[in-house]
Amino acid sequence: MNRREFIKLSGLMGAGGVLSPLLLGGCTAHPLPGSGQVVRTPTFCDMCFWKCAGFVHTENDRPWKITGNAHDLHSQGRLCTRGSGGLGSYEDPDRLRKPLLRVTGADGRQTFREAEWDEALGFIADRMKAIANDYGPDRMAMLNHGYGARHFKHLMRAYGSASFAEPAFAQCRGPRDVGFRLTFGEGLGSPERTDMEHSRCIVLIGSHIGENLHNGQVQTLAQALRNDVSLITVDPRFSVPAGKSKYWLPIRPGTDIALLLGWMYVLIDEQLYDRDYIERYATGFDELAAHVRRYAPEWVYLETGIEPDLIRATAREMASHAPATLVHPGRHTTWYGDDTQRSRAIAILNALLGSWGRKGGLYIKENVRLPRYPLPAYPQPRSDFRAANKGRYPFAYEGVTNAIIEASIGEDAHYRGWLVYGTNLPSTIPGIRPQLKAAMDSLDLVVVVDTMPSEITGYADVVLPECTYLERYDDLRNAGEREPALALRMPAFEPRHDSKPGWWIARQLGRRLGLERYFPWQDYSEVLDWQLKQVGSSLEEMQRIGVKPFPRTRPKYFAEGQPVRFRTPSGRIELHSQQLADAGFDPLPVYTRPEAPPAGFYRLNYGRMPAHTFGKTTNNPLLFQLAPENTLWVNPLVAREQGLANGEYVRLQNPDGIVSNRVRVRVTERIRPDSVFMAHGFGHRSRRLRLTYGIGADDSELMTNVRVDPLMGGTGMRANFVTLVKEAG
């Protein structure tokens, strides 16, 4: 056994950092911004996963500002708060500075010591070779998030592993993409293929766009609102988009499938659905029509609390604007464990409205046909991420993080080593902390590549400091989009301290593993230049313009009456899913009533706040100034019942006795009395995150009741309840 102690990072505070003038608010004597020697370097943002293209401006070689690139559809020339605050991640004095190696001190306690790159990489390569020899390279897994992970995926594939998993699947958009693939044969991607700028009616089920700040998406919704779109928001909380809606439906949490089936009932009962479209493209309509007979609005009302007249009125509203009606598929969809089925219901509703492939609905996306740099083929791995699922989750077409973690526990564990890139697992995967600790006692190797001393670094044998996105090349951005375009991320600064770009780290490891042939370049810019030259551009051009648009080669929407072959087994939109029936699941979405909060408990609701991305920006000095802590939204009735005043601190306790950090109460009518709400990403336990350490409450530690989606392994997070514990004094 390799008993690993979780290393509390407090002993490593080291020299500390001196705050730069930027972070002190520019209060030092400095000429007017823009009056010095200004250089503009293209980038695309990494403060969240939307990847807005912009420019980093430096003045006399010092950081000045980051602005949006006007030719970019993701940003339309404007960055959000977090993107503008990106320089804070470069300047953060708490950044990882040097590789760290786990050592046992004289007192027997484990700690980290700083190491040179050569030693750290040599250590990793030796252990990876041993894992490959003793068990096979497929027994090394990678848990990752973020664009920079692509360099390490390449390394892992060259080494012989195809066990990757990112929380973007089983903790985020997995159920949605599986639900849409089952129905239309394709997922939504990022950016989502939502044609909101042309929509006449938009339905948001939970999606709290405006608090959820995906820049281009917020801008197209704003455009739709300027065009007087009919916005229907279904949210138990009076969210930002609820405030801009024609109809706000404050649904009883967890009852959305009932509402969706009720809407289908009305569309079919009143013959309001797109008959031509369904006849031309879909299969299983008769089964659907029979299925939804049970879900009359009067029945749905009893479950959802939404009045029958309102259910009918909103269904008619959707139909009256169809096919320019978008029922938004959402993004973070791991809610109650029946999430793929809820996403199926959303997909089916879109089909009834005829919105897939239609203007104002869901467009056909296109990216640039960018050739891959010529390299030898990867070895065929003996097993891939599916090994972790042990026959479960038949529709998981990507790795399931939580399953990989479980398959890394015990002496006969499938996985023997981990490479963790850019994901802070303890706060990202609900209820996983005991398993993480257990995996630490069995794995032969844990490598963490990060920019910050996040909690996950405390689990590592070796911590490798990557430089931030502002100091490196990554792959070209080539997202499926409305209009195809490439965007370049390149270094605006030299890497600070002893941090290194991901491509360099992956290449160095590859060389030490005898995989040089997969890394024939000296500098990653050679790969980008080669690729760009294949499509008539060059690195030199991209360094000037940052974003290059390409013409579409096929239409964005279906032509009237056009024959279409969908990528489902039947080639049609599958309203009734034979694939699901064959695998033993409900072929049509079935509603099950969610568990109600026990007496004295409230449902723990959570989401985003505009100024932060999860926990990865809360220590960013610029963003910290804007939003240092999260607040707990509490209904006035609850506040009165509990004797709580606005601004007072409370703690939350879950039924398993877990007690949170203290969090400030915000008394507001905008939340139902059966729930409380807070933004995810606070309550850090790593002392080395000196600004954010210990501030605010962490929703994830309270989520011990995880509802796993049997179709794809997603971790439903919304069946958790809390009581409020008043702070003494």
Binding stretches for ligand MGD (CB under 6 A): 46, 48-49, 145-146, 148, 167-168, 171-172, 205-208, 212-214, 234-237, 239, 251, 253-254, 256, 330-332, 421-424, 427-428, 430, 449-452, 454, 456, 466, 468-469, 605-608, 610, 612-616, 680, 699-700, 703, 717-718
Residue nearer to ligand SF4 on the CB measure, 288 or 487: 487
Residue nearer to ligand MGD on the CB measure, 433 or 512: 433
Q: Give the integer Cα–Cα distance in Å for 390 and 229.
A: 47
Residue nearer to ligand MGD on the CB measure, 317 or 471: 471
Residue 47 binds ligand SF4 (CB under 6 A)? yes
Residue nearer to ligand MGD on the CB measure, 208 or 414: 208
**Distance in Å, CB of 496 to ligand MGD, minimum:** 13
Is 462 within 8 Å of 123 (Cβ atoms)? yes
Residue 609 binds ligand SF4 (CB under 6 A)? no
Q: Give the integer Cα–Cα distance in Å for 676 and 633.
A: 5
Residue nearer to ligand SF4 on the CB measure, 190 or 283: 190
Residue 213 binds ligand SF4 (CB under 6 A)? yes
Residue 318 DSSP class: H
- The number of beta carbons lying within 10 Å of the beta carbon of residue 194 is 26
Which of the ranges 79-87, 196-204, 424-432, 562-570 carries the binding residues for ligand SF4, by CB under 6 A? 79-87
**Distance in Å, CB of 188 to ligand MGD, minimum:** 11
**Distance in Å, CB of 467 to ligand MGD, minimum:** 8
Residue 142 binds ligand SF4 (CB under 6 A)? no
# chain residues binding ligand SF4, by CB under 6 A:
14
Residues that bind Mo ion (CB under 5 A): 172, 332
Residue 261 binds ligand SF4 (CB under 6 A)? no
Residue nearer to ligand SF4 on the CB measure, 75 or 705: 75
Residue 205 binds ligand SF4 (CB under 6 A)? no
DSSP letters along 667-724, please? E-TTS-TTEEEEESS-----TTSTTTTT-S--TGGG----EE-TTT--EE----EEEE
* Preceding omega of 555 cis (within 30 degrees of 0): no
The residue within the footprint of ligand SF4, chosen from 42, 83, 250, 417 (CB under 6 A), is 83
Residue nearer to ligand MGD on the CB measure, 274 or 701: 701
**Distance in Å, CB of 252 to ligand MGD, minimum:** 8
**Distance in Å, CB of 151 to ligand SF4, minimum:** 19
Is 477 within 8 Å of 77 (Cβ atoms)? no
Strands 675-679 and 707-708: unpaired
Query: What 3-state DSSP class applies to 360?
Result: coil
Residue with the two structure tokens 């002496």: 411
Residues with Cβ within 8 Å of 697's Cβ and at least 6 positions away in sequence, in order, are 630, 632, 651, 652, 660, 661, 662, 663, 678, 682, 683
Q: Give the integer Cα–Cα distance in Å for 643 and 258.
A: 35
Is 256 within 8 Å of 592 (Cβ atoms)? no
Kindly give the interhelix angle for 502-512 and 117-134, rounded to the nearest 10 degrees: 50
Residue nearer to ligand MGD on the CB measure, 389 or 620: 620
Residue nearer to ligand MGD on the CB measure, 229 or 249: 249
* CA distances in angstroms from 201 to 255, 310, 557, listed in the order given: 22, 16, 18
Q: Give the integer Cα–Cα distance in Å for 591 and 336.
A: 11
Q: What is the dihedral of CA 40, 46, 47, 52, to 10 degrees?
A: 70
* CA distances in angstroms from 461 to 2, 105, 153, 423, 551, listed in the order given: 10, 14, 20, 16, 48
The residue within the footprint of ligand SF4, chosen from 45, 470, 486, 532 (CB under 6 A), is 45
**Distance in Å, CB of 232 to ligand MGD, minimum:** 11
- What residue number has its CB nearest to Mo ion? 172
Closest CA to 220 of 235, 241, 239, 243: 241
Residue nearer to ligand SF4 on the CB measure, 45 or 445: 45
**Distance in Å, CB of 84 to ligand SF4, minimum:** 7
99: left (phi over 0), alpha (psi -120 to 50) or beta: beta
Residue 301 binds ligand SF4 (CB under 6 A)? no
Strands 602-607 and 675-679: parallel
Residue nearer to ligand MGD on the CB measure, 208 or 685: 208
**Distance in Å, CB of 185 to ligand MGD, minimum:** 22
Residues with Cβ within 8 Å of 546's Cβ and at least 6 positions away in sequence, in order, are 42, 43, 53, 54, 55, 69, 71, 72, 487, 488
The residue within the footprint of ligand SF4, chosen from 199, 215, 531, 631 (CB under 6 A), is 215
Instruction: Give the angle 600-332-321 at the CA atoms, nearest 5°.
Output: 105
Residue 48 binds ligand SF4 (CB under 6 A)? yes
Is 262 within 8 Å of 305 (Cβ atoms)? no
120-150 residues labelled b (16+ CB within 10 A) or e (exposed): bbebbbebbeebbeebebbbbbbbbbbbbbb
Residue nearer to ligand SF4 on the CB measure, 80 or 604: 80
Residue 52 binds ligand SF4 (CB under 6 A)? yes
Which of the ranges 75-83, 154-162, 497-505, 575-583 carries the binding residues for ligand SF4, by CB under 6 A? 75-83
**How far is C-alpha 713 from the geometric centre of its chain's CA atoms?**
16
**Distance in Å, CB of 390 to ligand SF4, minimum:** 36
**What is the Cα Rg of the chain in Å?**
26
Residue 82 binds ligand SF4 (CB under 6 A)? yes
Q: Give the integer Cα–Cα distance in Å for 721 and 313.
A: 33
Which of the ranges 40-48, 283-291, 390-398, 547-555 carries the binding residues for ligand SF4, by CB under 6 A? 40-48
**Distance in Å, CB of 72 to ligand SF4, minimum:** 10
**Distance in Å, CB of 306 to Mo ion, minimum:** 27
Residue nearer to ligand MGD on the CB measure, 587 or 681: 681
Residue nearer to ligand MGD on the CB measure, 197 or 235: 235
* CA distances in angstroms from 171 to 247, 439, 706, listed in the order given: 29, 19, 11
**Distance in Å, CB of 626 to ligand SF4, minimum:** 13
Residue 65 binds ligand SF4 (CB under 6 A)? no
Residue 214 binds ligand SF4 (CB under 6 A)? yes
**Distance in Å, CB of 104 to ligand MGD, minimum:** 25
Residue nearer to ligand MGD on the CB measure, 115 or 240: 240
Instruction: Give the angle 578-584-590 at the CA atoms, nearest 5°.
Output: 80
Q: Give the integer Cα–Cα distance in Å for 458 and 454.
A: 8
**Distance in Å, CB of 461 to ligand MGD, minimum:** 16
**Distance in Å, CB of 85 to ligand SF4, minimum:** 8
Which of the ranges 44-52, 98-106, 243-251, 326-334 carries the binding residues for ligand SF4, by CB under 6 A? 44-52
Residue with the two structure tokens 């070209």: 476
**Distance in Å, CB of 386 to ligand MGD, minimum:** 22
Residue 209 binds ligand SF4 (CB under 6 A)? no
Residue nearer to ligand MGD on the CB measure, 242 or 282: 242
Query: According to DSSP H, which parts of 416-523 are helical?
Result: 425-428, 433-442, 502-512
Interacting residue ranges for ligand SF4, rule: CB under 6 A? 45, 47-48, 50-52, 75, 79-80, 82-83, 213-215
